[in-house]
Amino acid sequence: MKGREKQRIDFRIPHKTEVRESVEGKENPWGLIRKWKLGGTEREIIAAPPPTKFDYRGPIHPGAEINFGIGVASPAEGISSLSSESPQVTFRVILKLREKEKTLFYKRLILPSPSQGVSFSFHKVNLSTTAPEARLVFQTEGPSEASSFWINPILISPPRPPLRPIILISIDTLRADHLGCYGYERATSSHMDAVAKEGVLFSQVYAPSPWTLPSHISLLTSLYVYNHQVETENDRLSPAIPTLADILRRNGYYCAAFTGGGFLNTVYGYSRGFDFYRDDLGGVFKQEGAHQVAQASLSWLRRNKDRPFFLFIHTYQPHTPYACPLPYKARFLPPQAKWGSLDLNGYLGGKQGIFKPLPTEEKENIIALYDAEILYTDEVLIGELITTLKELNLYHRSLIIITSDHGEEFYEHGSWGHGQDLYDESLRIPLIIKFPEVASGRVKGKRIEELVRLIDVLPTVVDFLGLKGEDEILTQVDGRSLLPMIQGKENSLRESLAEVAADVLSSHLPQRTALIFQGNKLIVNQPFKPEAFKFFAYPPPQLPPVELYDLVQDPQETENLGAKKPKLVRQSIRHLEDLFRLAKKRDKRKARLTQKLKEQLRALGYIK
């Protein structure tokens, strides 16, 4: 590790700058910077007889602190008495951030007698925040005859480590168990497998929702769905909730996103914090969606390789319709395959047909096409990205995160697709983190078996970058940094919560909530409404009020233990109720669905 560089001075009161304001309506004759010998050392002071204040306006960087002194001299000649028997001057430093203000420093000094001459002291205050624009107010209060002053206030930030490139890739609808690095028998993911060998693979990762919109909002905010409250297609992210892009941007990153749109459209609030956000890549043109988003991202990358950047990439490619180009789509097809490409939603008749049973050969055909979509994405997006990063000498320096928003069900529990169930095929997703070479050390090829969550990504990034000024935000999120777990310093077991709201996208599906904890999964189900049985072309399954599964002994979730373990069920439900009771109350923000967005969602099979 290199020796620490000198601290950076962000702000110093300029010499001969006037410090405004008046004393009893008259111009303040003391409002000047001057040199004065204090304790045998000549120092720069700002004369500030009460009431006087001056301020600094500008950014506050992580770890910033202010160093300053305060002092008061004995009364000037000719002033025989002051307005108080024990005259004092109050010194305050106030931080004003947006609409809030906070007193950082408060101290009173008694005016010294003529024999004492001058009383002064030095102080250091850590600001414990970061902001692109803030105001620091230095204020004195007391008798106007007092000769009070500030000694050389300086705002100092520690040296910044190099800002590592950060690349976050979300591959929509990607089941973890369909990747080679997660044990899949088909060679679907050679490039992702290679990244996993150079980074950390988390084998038990849970999404907070089985569909795109709430899950991606959770990824970028580190909040569960019940806390960010983007539950349906009509909700949007509250401006009061900071995102990963917000945090990185105010810490010096240039933030860009290239997405497939649809439920990553800017109408939902995703673009906040991003300097550049595209939501028109592959949402409708799905056959080569991954290629489109890759080429746009790589073109931007080449133009911005020399600046500190956060790049968010999203593709819908593995999502139905399964129609990637040849030769990829034929790679895994059985000899007598019925389809060379397929719009599964169309074939099933939309949401009405999600419970339709299909013959085994059709199911195998569908899975082969889904796997081909993964292979295509791995080749044209992940492979091309890695190649380009290496060409630009960025790969070894970058923090690269590969994940997804949810999985996909192939009738394991009686339905197709996603958005309706909370079983592992819908919630278990990949998470691969490759650290910059300088920090990778012993973690290359490491595999973490403990449960982690998609909401843990944001705090992990903040922790890795050492953004100390963001400590307050990290106390307000639901996720936790994964670094202690990676370093073997965490023994506590995490739990995960997932939910889907009732009737999302007019689907007539009931609300369902899951709690995953200590090798168990509890699912609490609301019943189907009577009209649902008229809506669906094939009858939905009879949902018990409660399901409990032992994920260690029964990873396929086939045996409901709810009736056998009533005590565990009661304890888990009480815990769920406690979590929801602590949820932050927010005003719901509604999204306006434009005609273009409706067309995208229709093309994705979400609306008719």
From 496, 523, 557, the end of a domain falls on 496
The per-residue pLDDT for 77 is 45
Instruction: Tell me whether residue 440 is in a domain.
Output: yes
For residues 198 and 61, membership in a common domain is answered with no
Q: Which of 278, 381, 383 is nearest to 324 (CA)?
A: 381
Phi, psi of 251 (to 5 degrees): -105, 20
pLDDT at 5: 41
Q: Which helix (H) or strand (E) holds 367?
A: helix 360-377
Residue 527 identity (one-letter amino acid): P
For residue 182, give the nearest of 371, 318, 324 by alpha carbon.
371
Task: Tell whether 135 and 258 lie within a shared domain.
Answer: no
Q: Tell me, yes or no, whether 54 lies in a domain.
A: yes
Same domain, yes or no: 267 and 153: no
C-alpha span between 554 and 543 (Å, rounded): 19
Which of 496, 529, 545 delimits the end of a domain?
Answer: 496
Sign of CA pseudo-dihedral 220, 222, 228, 229 = positive
Do 241 and 124 share a structural domain? no
Flag whether 597 is in a domain: no
Q: Are residues 261 and 398 in the same domain?
A: yes
- Report yes or no on 522 lying in a domain: no
The segments of the chain whose pLDDT lies below 50 read 1-6, 13-30, 77-82, 284
Residues 46 and 152 in one domain: yes
Q: Is residue 570 part of a domain?
A: no
Residues 294 and 208 in one domain: yes
**Looking at the 3D structure of the chain, how many domains does it have?**
2
Which CATH number covers residue 17? Answer: 2.60.120
Contacts of residues 601-604 at CB distance under 8 Å and 24 or more positions apart, as own/partner, are 601/233, 601/262, 601/263, 601/505, 603/283, 603/284, 603/286, 604/262, 604/283, 604/286, 604/316, 604/319
Q: Are 69 and 123 in a shared domain? A: yes
**Structural domain that includes position 199:** 166-496
In a domain, 83, yes or no: yes
Q: Are residues 483 and 451 in the same domain?
A: yes
* Domain membership flag for residue 109: yes
The predicted structure's pLDDT at residue 409: 98
Q: How far is CA 546 from CA 72, 189, 326, 555, 565, in A?
A: 71, 36, 45, 18, 11
CA atoms within 13 A on the CB side of 233: 18
Tell me whether residue 15 is in a domain: yes
Alpha carbons 116 and 422: distance in angstroms, whole number: 75
The CA-CA-CA angle for residues 16, 18, 149, to 5°, reads 90
pTM score over 0.95: no
The answer to whether 251 and 131 have CB atoms below 8 angstroms apart is: no
Instruction: Give one DSSP letter per residue of 220-289, joined into a string.
Output: HH---HHHH---STTEE--TTS--HHHHHHHTT-EEEEE---GGGSGGGTTTTT-SEEE--SSSS-GGGH
- Within 13 A of 292's CA, how many CA atoms are on the CB side? 22
- What CATH number has the domain bearing residue 324? 3.40.720.10
Residue 312: which of 262, 255, 263, 264 has the closest Cα? 255
Rounded to a whole number of angstroms, the CA Rg of the chain reads: 30
Residue 378 carries which DSSP code?
I
pLDDT digits (tens, 9 = 90+) for 38-66: 766 667 788 888 988 888 888 888 788 89
User: How far is 266 from 402, CA to CA, in rounded Å?
Assistant: 22
Residue 333 CB contacts under 8 Å (≥ 6 apart), including other chains: 340, 365, 368, 369, 372
Same domain, 45 and 15: yes
| Rounded Cα–Cα distance for residues 305 and 393 (Å) | 9
Domain boundary among 103, 137, 157: 157
Together in a domain, 141 and 170:
no
Task: Give yes or no: residues 136 and 183 share one domain.
Answer: no
